[in-house]
Structure 1
Amino acid sequence: MMIKNKDIWCIIVILGCIVAGCRKPYNPPAISAPNSYLVVEGVINSGADSTVITLSKTVNLSEKPSSTLLSNATVTVEADGGAIYPLQASMSNPGKYIAVGLNLDNTKKYRLHITASGNEYVSDYVAVKATPPIDSITYKITEKGLQINSNTHDVTNNTRYYRWAYEETWRFHARFNSGLIVKNGEIVFRGNDEQIYYCYAGDKSSNIVLASSSKLVQDVISQNPVTLIQSNSEKLEIRYSILLKQYALTKEGYAFWENIKKNSEQLGSIFDPQPSEIKGNIHNVTNPAEPVVGYLSVTNVQTKRIFISNNDLPLTWQPQVDAFCQIDSVLFANPHNGANDVQNQIVNGGLIPISTISKDGFHVIGYTASTVECTDCRVRGQVTAPQFWK
């Protein structure tokens, strides 16, 4: 059948209308409503490690931040046999509620009970699901960077559904090494306890890492991607460490996290998965029509840590340099106007002295200097090494 030019133009117009329609902002009632909903994050740790539950409230998309931490709540873990385990509100981290070493009976079911803002919330009773150990954390050098992978298995073939979270720590240094410091209006050499060149920084996972062996004969997860670190990342500048946390999930829990992943990470075009309702297993008893964001699991958490040195990576992998970082020469007597730039820009100003500038190798006529951002690593980290660092 021959398509006429007129028909082609009609098709183009229709497609244009469809595309334009896809771009029209859409504010679902649940998002644009004035209500804010409870968000529950964390798992009930059935073992000797701490149980940490974080509570927050959602806000509309047009507002910032995307959630607010919820303090002054009452949080307990309840067993189906009647035992109650209270969680204490953290004094240093508002919104976090903690219980140390519950060591729960694996034959019972447990739920979370929350009282906050005049509402009562409970989760479904959930059976304890054991998490097998992490076999190993491996890494692979790729064209895009350093790929971190996880490996695990369950000889009983009972786990099948897994989730991972992780904490990253890395050692790095400032762009320039300042050997001098201003004290009492004078520029002197830094002491050992005043060094600001090397620091440690960290971050927690924001991506959702899942895997399932439900379609495999054996319950084995091999080389599951955890995170990709760009080759020019500051994380790989000196030494990097990752602490991997592994959680066993039920089939329903896996479906919840998979839905969260699709809604938060894989939406970008009309051909990607479309938003869908996220149903957890936590409910508002006071107002059953009000949704609660979160899914409660009860499991022991398995952890493993590895260290990766820059010496183990390609020599061409270098951190991206901040273009604004420059070294200035600051003199006691400015040759143009005679001003004491050392006094004005370093002692009384914001520049950090780096090293001396000498005339004939003896007489100090000024200093090299740069900004705080380029000389003080504490802007992005801390000088004290974490306890686990080795």
Structure 2
Amino acid sequence: MSRRTTYIICLSLLALAACRKAYTPPAIAFAGSYLVVEGVINSGGDSTILKLSRTVKLNDTTKLKPETGAIVTLEGEDGSTFPQLMESTTVKGSYINPSLVLNAGKRYRLRIKSGSSEYLSDYAESKITPPIDSVTYVLSHTYDAGLRVNVNTHDATGKSIYYKWDYAETYQYRTPYDSRWKSNGDTVLPRNIITDDINHCWRTTYSDHVIIGSSEKLSRDVISQLSLTVVPSTSEKISEEYSILVKQYALTKEAYQFWESLQKNTEKLGSIFDPQPSQLPTNIHCVSNPAEPVIGYLSICTVTSQRIFVPFFTLPNSGEGDTYQGCSLTSAYFHYLVNPLKGDNDEDFYYNYNKPGPHIILIPYESIIGVIDGHKVVVGHTGSTPYCVDCTLRGSNKKPSFWK
């Protein structure tokens, strides 16, 4: 091939590359923003919390778009009305009624007005949820399976049949380094380890997958040892004491089918043998624009719950797992207590404690007293990154009211 021919081919390839245009799939480019309704109407007198939000595009930088300013009410099939669900002042898009008491077996519907749009659910039956018989756990000291949590329930009347669960895990954890000192901007002070402990915290996480079960094909309405979650032995969740609060809901058959479809669409995809995505059934509709889809399903029931604790001495893990990998200490902190040349607001001190940077937490380790560069007294502190020392960055150092 001649040099001229090669040159022409290269120019042609460059021209083709320059003509390429970015392709944006319709699912990403589509600008639809649909109402999402999450939550259950608690008919047993406890708090009802509904979350309203809008769908966002796949390539949108905003991952959550709460629906604020809505008017949310509940109506009975017999014409009865109930106090409005009021929007939370702290959590945008959350609507709360602290004590709804509804009659079992009766039917109710939800009405939502937001801006110029109005949404209305079908009438849904109020169901009674049986108590949880027990929440149990199985411990394993193998690498991949540390703690398995199961739930057991039954309904002697045989009326429940369809169930849903969610849970909140609360656990203790500790940072690898314990800070006993802090800076107020110009002075290093001892930390009060009782009121200002940042080494020991509690954190709560919530279930993020669909958990449903049915006794439809059984001779009795019994759910036995249904798995709720598995916590790996390397997880920080079981490095100290662990607690889980399980909530149980009785569903109608139609509501169960909604959650079953959602589970298949979101959790059971990945191979040619898995179910194909399908449109979710819903009982909530936009009456001002019938063509507008709504995501969610209204269920009404009493809610039963049970909390268990798994004590430290039974847990299969006593470390932080991978949470604090990469944490280390450094001794690059110096506070000039007496500085006749520059005073306490020394530039070195300012840099170490007030300027933006990763190393701002003090550890009472390798303290040094001496003279450096003519300064009479110098105290050295060892420090680490806030993430490795300050547990309040991911949780709370206030003990939960329910904690043992």
Q: Could you tell me the TM-score, scaled by structure 1's length?
A: 0.85
CA gap 1:332/1:73 in 2 versus in 1, 3 angstroms: closer
What residue is the counterpart of 1:354 in the other structure?
A: 363
Comparing 323-332 with 69-78, greater Cα deviation is found at 323-332
For residues 236-278 of structure 1, what are the alpha-carbon distances to aligned partners after superposition, in whole Å with 9 as ceiling and x for unaligned?
A: 1111111111000111111100000110111112222110010
Alpha-carbon deviation of 1:319?
2.5
Q: Paired residue for 2:388, among 340, 362, 374? A: 374
What residue is the counterpart of 2:374 in the other structure?
A: none
- 8 Å Cα contact 2:38/2:52 also seen in 1: yes
Q: Paired residue for 2:207, among 205, 213, 217? A: 205
Alpha-carbon deviation of 1:322?
2.4
Which whole-Å CA distance do the structure 2 matches of 1:264 and 1:234 have between them? 26
- 8 Å Cα contact 2:120/2:286 also seen in 1: yes
Output aligned runs, 1:152-191, within 5 Å. 152-183=153-184, 185-191=186-192
- 8 Å Cα contact 1:284/1:292 also seen in 2: yes
- 8 Å Cα contact 1:358/1:364 also seen in 2: no
- 8 Å Cα contact 2:233/2:316 also seen in 1: no
> How many aligned residue pairs are there?
359
- 8 Å Cα contact 1:330/1:341 also seen in 2: no
CA gap 1:60/1:282 in 2 versus in 1, 3 angstroms: same
What residue is the counterpart of 1:12 in the other structure?
A: none
For residues 209-255 of structure 1, what are the alpha-carbon distances to aligned partners after superposition, in whole Å with 9 as ceiling and x for unaligned?
A: 01111000011101101111121111111111111110001111111
CA gap 1:180/1:298 in 2 versus in 1, 3 angstroms: same
Counterpart secondary structure, 1:357: coil
Alpha-carbon deviation of 1:344?
5.6
Unmatched 5+ stretches in structure 2: 1-22, 336-345, 371-376
Alpha-carbon deviation of 1:108?
2.1
Alpha-carbon deviation of 1:320?
2.4
- 8 Å Cα contact 2:154/2:223 also seen in 1: yes
What residue is the counterpart of 1:128 in the other structure?
A: 126
- 8 Å Cα contact 1:356/1:364 also seen in 2: no
Q: Would you say 1:285 and 2:282 are equivalent positions?
A: no
Comparing 316-325 with 218-227, greater Cα deviation is found at 316-325
CA gap 1:25/1:162 in 2 versus in 1, 3 angstroms: farther
Alpha-carbon deviation of 1:145?
2.2
Output aligned runs, 1:205-284, within 5 Å. 205-284=207-286
For residues 165-197 of structure 1, what are the alpha-carbon distances to aligned partners after superposition, in whole Å with 9 as ceiling and x for unaligned?
A: 111111111120011122352323211322211
What residue is the counterpart of 2:69 in the other structure?
A: 72
Output aligned runs, 1:308-319, within 5 Å. 308-314=310-316, 319=321
Which whole-Å CA distance do the structure 1 matches of 2:195 and 2:234 have between them? 30
- 8 Å Cα contact 2:243/2:309 also seen in 1: yes
Q: Which amino acid aligns with 1:149?
A: N
- 8 Å Cα contact 1:161/1:250 also seen in 2: yes
CA gap 1:315/1:43 in 2 versus in 1, 3 angstroms: closer
Which whole-Å CA distance do the structure 2 matches of 1:174 and 1:164 have between them? 32
Alpha-carbon deviation of 1:117?
2.8
- 8 Å Cα contact 1:342/1:367 also seen in 2: no
Which whole-Å CA distance do the structure 1 matches of 2:99 and 2:186 have between them? 52
CA gap 1:96/1:315 in 2 versus in 1, 3 angstroms: closer
| Matched-pair identity in % | 44
What residue is the counterpart of 1:18 in the other structure?
A: none
Which whole-Å CA distance do the structure 1 matches of 2:327 and 2:172 have between them? 20
What residue is the counterpart of 1:8 in the other structure?
A: none
For residues 61-90 of structure 1, what are the alpha-carbon distances to aligned partners after superposition, in whole Å with 9 as ceiling and x for unaligned?
A: 232434411011111000011111121111
- 8 Å Cα contact 2:52/2:93 also seen in 1: yes
Unmatched 5+ stretches in structure 1: 1-23, 334-339
